[in-house]
Structure 1
Amino acid sequence: MHNHVGGPHAGVLFTLAESASGAAMLSVFGDQLERAVPLATSARVEYRKVAKGEVWAEARVLGTREEVVGTLDAGERPVFEVGVDVRNGDGEVVCVVNVTWTLRPHRR
């Protein structure tokens, strides 16, 4: 799973970040699953430096719960971002990923 320069492969870093974004999304909107399906629709990634050693991810929903749930309450499909920092063992940010999510209301 390592690349040609000895760090984790870019795909590994992206998969970690996308998974963390889903965990953050569910921590804020998990109670909405009975009425909507969460879907990642796009992602933007920025690799900043070669990661060495262990890596970990920290994700946060950008925007407010009130805006997203309010849009869903209005019968519309909310779109929101989740920002993720992937860090190495020293805490340095090695990769930044923004994942765009939507909550698609269940069809009746």
Structure 2
Amino acid sequence: MDYSKVGETMKSTVPWVGTAGIDFKEITATRAVAVLPDVEAQRNHVGGPHAAVTFGLAETASGAILLAAFAAQLARATPLVARSAIEYKKLAVGDLTAEAVLGRPAEEVVAELDAGQRPEFPVHVTVRNAEGVTTAEVTVTWTLRPNRT
């Protein structure tokens, strides 16, 4: 599958992605890398990106994997975030990079969907500053809710 359009699709279907200025450096069915430039208007009281902005970048990177890995399933299931957890490790300053990795094989998730279940799967995201230092670790657990026919 050609994943080159996933980033543009996200920018056109989720307006915040484009507004925030997120750029996608890599997208595959198992890994995505997204970058958020440092923007003064998005900083918090200590000079780093606001916590919500950091989380938004991580969630967006996880969504890119979802689209890449499960695009063929979206006609029959709606993707939803079931839950998220974030651990802030260090004050983030400057541009941020989020590296997201699919936490379960896509084939397992699709098999559960085929069996009539509502599968859940984690996407693990590491957010790093411009020096490559980890500033946050995030797990976004997605579900594919079967559409009613």
Band the TM-score falls in, shorter-chain normalisation? over 0.9
The root-mean-square deviation of aligned C-alpha atoms, in Å, is 0.8
Residue in 2 that maps onto 1:47:
88
Residue in 1 that maps onto 2:133:
92
Which has a greater percent of strand? 1
**Where in structure 2 are the equivalents of 1:1-108 lying within 5 Å?**
1-108=42-149
User: CA offsets per residue over residues 54-101 of structure 1, 9 Å max, x none?
Assistant: 101111110111110000010111011011111110111101110010
Report how far residue 23 of structure 1 moved. 0.6
Structure 2 residue runs without a partner (length 5+) = 1-41
- Structure 1 runs of 4+ aligned residues shifted over 6 Å read none
Percent identity reads 55
Looking at structure 2, the residues matched to 30 and 58 of structure 1 have their Cα atoms a distance apart, in angstroms, of 20
Structure 1 residue runs without a partner (length 5+) = none
Task: Work out which structure has the larger RCO, using CA pairs closer than 8 Å and 6 or more positions apart in sequence.
Answer: 1
| TM-score, structure 2 normalization | 0.70
User: How many pairs are equivalent?
Assistant: 108
